[in-house]
Chain A
Amino acid sequence: MAMQSDSMPDRFIGKSIPRKEGREKVTGRAVYVDDIAMLDMLHGVTVRSQVARGHLRGIRFAESIPWDEFTIVTAKDIPGKNCVALILDDQPCLANQVVNHAEEPVLLLAHADPYLLEEARRAVELDIEPLPPVFTIDDSLAKKQLIWGEDNIFKSFLVESGDVESAWSRAHLIVEGEYETGAQEQLYIEPQGIIATFDAEDGLTVWGSMQCPYYVHRALMTLLNLPVNSVRVIQTETGGGFGGKEEYPSMIAGHAALLARKSGKPVKIVYDRMEDMAATTKRHPSRTRHRTAVTREGKLLAMDIEFVVDGGAYATLSPVVLSRGTIHAAGPYFCPNVRIRSKAVATNFPPHGAFRGFGAPQSVFALERQMDQVARALGLTPEEFRRRNFVKEGETLAVGQMVREKIDMAALMECALDLSDYHAKRKRFAEENPRRAVKRGIGLASFLHGAGFTGSGERYMASLVGAEATPEGQVRVLAASTEMGQGTTTVFSQIAAEALGVDFDLIEIVQPDTALVPNSGPTVASRTCMVVGKLVESAVLGIRQQLLSSSLLKDKYTSEQFRQACRLFIQNHGELKSTAEYSAPVGVYWDDEKYRGDAYGAYAWAVYVAEVSVDMTTYEIRVDDLVAVQEVGRVINPVLATGQIEGGVAQGVGFALYENVVWQEGRMVNSQMTNYIMPTSADLPRIRVFFEEVPYAHGPGGAKGIGELPIDGPAPAIVNAIENAIGVSIKRIPVTPEVLMEALEGVHA
């Protein structure tokens, strides 16, 4: 196929090109970390504290095990700094003297026989003198025990606009509410795993399932005290991440590296499901308090929001999770007086961490429930109250960011209400419900989600993407962004092929490997398509520009002519390379001190409508329909984008109704897929996805971020629908049947 580059605009952008690595995946040929076996490879396991807080007094090794066959690593074997380097570097890689949560790694074992290894793990006995643990947000805030720093607080933020205190007296109504969300497990189906090799000449190499190769790279340099070039990190095919493989792989990589260094052999650590669920990070549990003042006309006058997340035992990513949750806490509404006070506090749970949405699903849940409560107090419908308060182009969001995007939330909402047949259903359910044992309801949530790092994050990150032509005339894209199912490889190829006007097959996306690709930042924060994708576009255009400048290529060309030009250029000059570095769009400003300004370059905007059935015999709730309408800029690949939304919605349904982490003494006791309930194919409604497309000037081909948005909306829409069905306001999720029963009995008692 050879076409003129200019004659066919948008040959690839907006097209549902099948996933590039799809064939490998459907045939089982794609290679994940656990599929790799190496000569003389050992397996590694982790011995964990099992006590939520205490002093480590000693380690005993039972006599039944041939210990001389094992490689044993403790904190003493760490050559560098004993931490998992991330933001605050407070989390040890292996506990030494004190333990702060029950899954804290203390000791590592390696052996060639995985069966014997498990036997050995059981034969290590840690002597830990327990200290009183902290398991609630209130106990942490009250400093009942001081377990972290001077006040148990990892981070706090204050966002202020207008003057909340002076507004209360002018209010027509003031509505207060308190909302809670639980921990949620990412539950990627591929458990975490890493293989490490170490030798004096080549240094350390790790392969593994991960989102952020350069996070791992930095953590390993710190832990092993190695120079940049002695650490190489290679991402293997990654079976889902959702944030769960953002920071924890640095921990496992550290463990595998220490064992490899001591044993001199390759070491593989792959968690089983129970360990993965119990020990790795989960979504932060949260508590949000709202105090909302409105005018007689149903306009927001003041919003006072207190948002607290439980960070677990170490800071990990809590400061950034808190930041995103804070900024999203006031939603897509205009309110002249807003105060958001937020805190991430320490407890003795295993550290909570990144999970799709990153704090926003928690604060959005609270806000969208509160909006329904305020509407009810005003005697307005939920949609009418929102309509009166949506932020409009030219108005400002809570952080003082002026909305410059052409967004019409009211129109987006109308679209969602039409598609879900909202008005007719609301009427019909109200008529039918009194006669039914299964009551039905419909509810909505409107929300926004910022794409890319918050505030100055992208500026500090200064991401790089490279492109190079091969002697065969192919263009290789060099980026650290990982493919973990979301479609990075395909979407980058579409962006590059579109920018160059060449065949899709001419583009190769290089597997993320710190020895080969520059640091394009982590694969998080809905930034891959919009931020890194834009750099991909720029980098490949750099290749084209060099070809044009050298006159090897004319303005109009075919793919074959492009290949030929690449070949000739390399013959003449030896290589053809280009690099693009992030620079913030002009006019974007953020004040880190005051926490005000342009929090994100762009937002995705959405209105979701959920319809539910509540079985009054069993208190089970089923989602019957879910309409997801969103504006995400230009959609690069409709099938992949739809899949992102559907998958996020499914996780949102789980967050709302099923996924309940049961804790006992700081440990997750339902750490099996049998007992931690994610939705099966029989539990989900048909998820109906609709895109409004308003191209964003600074995104590749007009695209914005999409990955996290869909998990923000389902929970509040579903719980609002439950209230519509049964008239009872539920304040915390997941709304398990047990929670619903207690809420109903409480009302009826």
Chain B
Amino acid sequence: MRSYVPAYDMRVPLELDEALETMAREPGEWKPFAGGTDLMVLLEQGRLADRKFLSVARLKGLRGFALTDDHVTLGAMITYRQVQTTAILQQEFPLLCRAAYETGGLATQNRGTLGGNIANASPAADSPPALLVYDAELELVSASRTRWVPYAGFHLGYKKMDLRPEEVIRNIRLPRTKKNWRQYYRKVGTRRAQAISKVCFAGAALVEHGGISDVRIALGSMAPTVLRCRKTEALLLGPLTAEMIRAAADELAREIQPIDDFRSTARYRTRVAQKLLEEFLLGLITPPAGESA
């Protein structure tokens, strides 16, 4: 343990309101702390800059679940394990279940939460590409107000978010519009389990009358934030041709900004992202049974 632990404080409010009031009273002083699967690693390494935390993992106000004809709404503190075992998510949002399954081992999945994963803002996180593909929206609450924002656009830069110091993420809402879309998710890590991704690709496409009528492509580990690749998407509407795939792969390489680090190289990340794009697109012209998700 490389941190001076006595210098760190944590309070465990019993109600969401109590947490929000504390955060409103001393804006920026108290940071929400969810499953701790990332923050505790920083503490271990002596790199946890914030000192005061509010444990929000067990707050009922952040653990809701609602299902309507149009949306699934998940409380931000839903764990990866719960994501995997929620029937509606298995049926309509398989990429999210896949992402949750591929995050850490079982012990991490029991503790780590979707909201925590979003707010930790790691560009290498596994679930955000899926959330981008599903056009997720976030409900942000503070003591004084509530607002909904599209998840695309929430991450402003490396570890920078459209989240005020007194706000927490309360809900993650997924529109039930992708049920009939062809979906694809592939995390390329360093090993089959317990890996941090080098490339994480999520894609979904609505294929109608032999052509793509709508498409989402999102990537992790490719830029300072997870990235929705709108320019690449724009090249993919209509009947799929080899030329289109080539052009999209070229565009994708321009749209991402991968780096060399100790996990991989920019060249590898770019090349594999392009190949995953090809695999996703070629999968669209084969029967659905053969696709991976």
Interface flag for B18 (CB, 8 Å): no
Among candidates B192, B263, B267, B276, residue contacting A675 with C-beta atoms closer than 8 Å: B263
Stretch in A113-121, A442-450, A465-473 with 4+ CB within 8 Å of B: A113-121
Pair A617/B5 contact, Cβ less than 8 Å: no
Once bound together, how far apart are the Cα atoms of A322 and B194, in whole Å? 35
Pair A670/B262 contact, Cβ less than 8 Å: yes
Pair A618/B4 contact, Cβ less than 8 Å: no
Pair A618/B272 contact, Cβ less than 8 Å: yes
Interface flag for A620 (CB, 8 Å): yes
Residues of B contacting A437 with CB < 8 Å? 279
Interface flag for B193 (CB, 8 Å): yes
Pair B191/A115 contact, Cβ less than 8 Å: no
From A662, A681, A738, name the one whose CB has the most chain B CB atoms within 10 angstroms. Answer: A738
Residues of A contacting B278 with CB < 8 Å? 617
CB-contacts of B42-94 with A (<8 A): 44-46
Pair B268/A675 contact, Cβ less than 8 Å: no
Residues of B contacting A116 with CB < 8 Å? 4
Interface flag for B290 (CB, 8 Å): no
Residues of A contacting B2 with CB < 8 Å? 118, 272, 274
Pair A617/B191 contact, Cβ less than 8 Å: no
Residues 734-749 of A, flagged 1 when their CB comes within 8 A of B and 0 if not, give 0001100110010000
Pair B196/A675 contact, Cβ less than 8 Å: yes
Interface flag for A146 (CB, 8 Å): no
Once bound together, how far apart are the Cα atoms of A115 and B5, in whole Å? 6
Pair B262/A683 contact, Cβ less than 8 Å: no
Residues 261-275 of B, flagged 1 when their CB comes within 8 A of A and 0 if not, give 011110110011001
From B199, B263, B265, name the one whose CB has the most chain A CB atoms within 10 angstroms. Answer: B263
CB-contacts of B241-270 with A (<8 A): 262-265, 267-268
Pair B267/A741 contact, Cβ less than 8 Å: yes
Residues of A contacting B193 with CB < 8 Å? 680-683
Residues of A contacting B190 with CB < 8 Å? 658, 677
Residues 2-45 of B, flagged 1 when their CB comes within 8 A of A and 0 if not, give 11111000000000000000000000000000000000010011
Interface flag for A619 (CB, 8 Å): yes
- Asked if A682 meets B191 with Cβ closer than 8 Å, knowing A618-B272, A619-B272, the reply is yes
Once bound together, how far apart are the Cα atoms of A234 and B124, in whole Å? 45
Minimum CB–CB distance from A527 to chain B (whole Å) comes to: 33
Once bound together, how far apart are the Cα atoms of A115 and B1, in whole Å? 7
Pair A680/B196 contact, Cβ less than 8 Å: no
Residues 175-201 of B, flagged 1 when their CB comes within 8 A of A and 0 if not, give 000000000001010111111101100
Residues of A contacting B267 with CB < 8 Å? 738, 741-742
Minimum CB–CB distance from A258 to chain B (whole Å) comes to: 23
Minimum CB–CB distance from A418 to chain B (whole Å) comes to: 29
Minimum CB–CB distance from A173 to chain B (whole Å) comes to: 36
Pair B192/A114 contact, Cβ less than 8 Å: no
| Chain A residue at minimum C-beta to C-beta distance from B5 | A115
Pair B1/A680 contact, Cβ less than 8 Å: no
From A114, A116, A620, name the one whose CB has the most chain B CB atoms within 10 angstroms. Answer: A620
Once bound together, how far apart are the Cα atoms of A467 and B271, in whole Å? 64
| Chain B residue at minimum C-beta to C-beta distance from A737 | B268
Pair B268/A677 contact, Cβ less than 8 Å: no
Among candidates B188, B191, B262, residue contacting A658 with C-beta atoms closer than 8 Å: B191
Residues 609-622 of A, flagged 1 when their CB comes within 8 A of B and 0 if not, give 00000000111101
Pair B196/A674 contact, Cβ less than 8 Å: yes
Pair B276/A617 contact, Cβ less than 8 Å: yes
- Asked if A617 meets B262 with Cβ closer than 8 Å, knowing A115-B4, A679-B191, the reply is no
How would you classify the secondary structure of chain A's contact residues: helix, strand, loop or mixed?
loop
From B4, B6, B191, B196, name the one whose CB has the most chain A CB atoms within 10 angstroms. Answer: B191
Minimum CB–CB distance from A44 to chain B (whole Å) comes to: 15
CB-contacts of A94-137 with B (<8 A): 114-116, 118-119, 122
Residues of A contacting B105 with CB < 8 Å? 680
| Chain B residue at minimum C-beta to C-beta distance from A663 | B262
Pair A617/B272 contact, Cβ less than 8 Å: yes
Among candidates A274, A670, A680, A738, residue contacting B191 with C-beta atoms closer than 8 Å: A680
Residues of A contacting B41 with CB < 8 Å? 674
Interface flag for A669 (CB, 8 Å): yes
- Asked if A618 meets B263 with Cβ closer than 8 Å, knowing A115-B4, A115-B5, A119-B4, the reply is no
Pair B191/A118 contact, Cβ less than 8 Å: no
Once bound together, how far apart are the Cα atoms of A167 and B161, in whole Å? 70
Once bound together, how far apart are the Cα atoms of A547 and B144, in whole Å? 90
Among candidates B5, B6, B46, B194, residue contacting A680 with C-beta atoms closer than 8 Å: B194
Minimum CB–CB distance from B208 to chain A (whole Å) comes to: 27
Minimum CB–CB distance from B223 to chain A (whole Å) comes to: 19
Pair A114/B262 contact, Cβ less than 8 Å: no
Residues of A contacting B263 with CB < 8 Å? 670, 675
Once bound together, how far apart are the Cα atoms of A681 and B193, in whole Å? 8
Pair A680/B192 contact, Cβ less than 8 Å: yes
CB-contacts of A661-696 with B (<8 A): 662, 664, 669-670, 672, 674-675, 677, 679-683
Pair B46/A669 contact, Cβ less than 8 Å: no
Among candidates B194, B265, B275, residue contacting A617 with C-beta atoms closer than 8 Å: B275
Once bound together, how far apart are the Cα atoms of A52 and B179, in whole Å? 57
| Chain B residue at minimum C-beta to C-beta distance from A673 | B194
- Asked if A677 meets B191 with Cβ closer than 8 Å, knowing A115-B4, A115-B6, A118-B1, the reply is yes
- Asked if A738 meets B194 with Cβ closer than 8 Å, knowing A115-B6, A617-B275, the reply is no
Once bound together, how far apart are the Cα atoms of A63 and B231, in whole Å? 55
Among candidates B1, B186, B271, residue contacting A114 with C-beta atoms closer than 8 Å: B1
CB-contacts of A303-322 with B (<8 A): none
Residues of A contacting B198 with CB < 8 Å? 737
Minimum CB–CB distance from B61 to chain A (whole Å) comes to: 32
Residues of B contacting A114 with CB < 8 Å? 1
| Chain A residue at minimum C-beta to C-beta distance from B105 | A680
- Asked if A662 meets B262 with Cβ closer than 8 Å, knowing A619-B272, A620-B188, the reply is yes
Once bound together, how far apart are the Cα atoms of A595 and B238, in whole Å? 74
| Chain B residue at minimum C-beta to C-beta distance from A620 | B188
| Chain A residue at minimum C-beta to C-beta distance from B188 | A618
Minimum CB–CB distance from A268 to chain B (whole Å) comes to: 14
- Asked if A669 meets B262 with Cβ closer than 8 Å, knowing A119-B4, A617-B272, the reply is yes
- Asked if A675 meets B4 with Cβ closer than 8 Å, knowing A619-B268, A683-B193, the reply is no
Minimum CB–CB distance from A559 to chain B (whole Å) comes to: 46
Residues of A contacting B262 with CB < 8 Å? 662, 664, 669-670, 675
Minimum CB–CB distance from B72 to chain A (whole Å) comes to: 29
Residues of A contacting B5 with CB < 8 Å? 115
Pair A118/B6 contact, Cβ less than 8 Å: no
CB-contacts of B166-224 with A (<8 A): 186, 188, 190-196, 198-199
From A274, A670, A741, name the one whose CB has the most chain B CB atoms within 10 angstroms. Answer: A741
Pair A272/B188 contact, Cβ less than 8 Å: no
Residues of B contacting A118 with CB < 8 Å? 1-4, 46
Residues of B contacting A672 with CB < 8 Å? 45
CB-contacts of A631-657 with B (<8 A): none
Minimum CB–CB distance from B263 to chain A (whole Å) comes to: 7
Residues of B contacting A122 with CB < 8 Å? 46
Pair B268/A741 contact, Cβ less than 8 Å: yes
Contacts A618-B272, A675-B263, A680-B192 aside, 18 further interface pairs with beta carbons under 8 A come to: A118-B1, A118-B4, A272-B44, A617-B279, A618-B186, A618-B199, A618-B275, A619-B272, A620-B188, A677-B190, A679-B191, A682-B192, A737-B264, A737-B268, A737-B272, A738-B265, A738-B267, A741-B267
Q: List 28 A-B contacts (CB under 8 A).
A: A114-B1, A115-B4, A118-B1, A118-B2, A118-B3, A118-B4, A122-B46, A272-B44, A437-B279, A617-B272, A617-B275, A617-B279, A618-B199, A622-B192, A658-B190, A662-B262, A669-B262, A674-B194, A674-B196, A675-B262, A677-B190, A680-B105, A680-B192, A680-B193, A680-B194, A737-B272, A738-B264, A738-B268
The interface of chain B, by Cβ under 8 A from chain A, is 1-6, 41, 44-46, 105, 186, 188, 190-196, 198-199, 262-265, 267-268, 271-272, 275-276, 278-279
The 10 closest A-B pairs by CB, nearest first: A682-B192, A682-B193, A662-B262, A677-B190, A738-B268, A680-B193, A617-B275, A119-B4, A670-B262, A618-B188
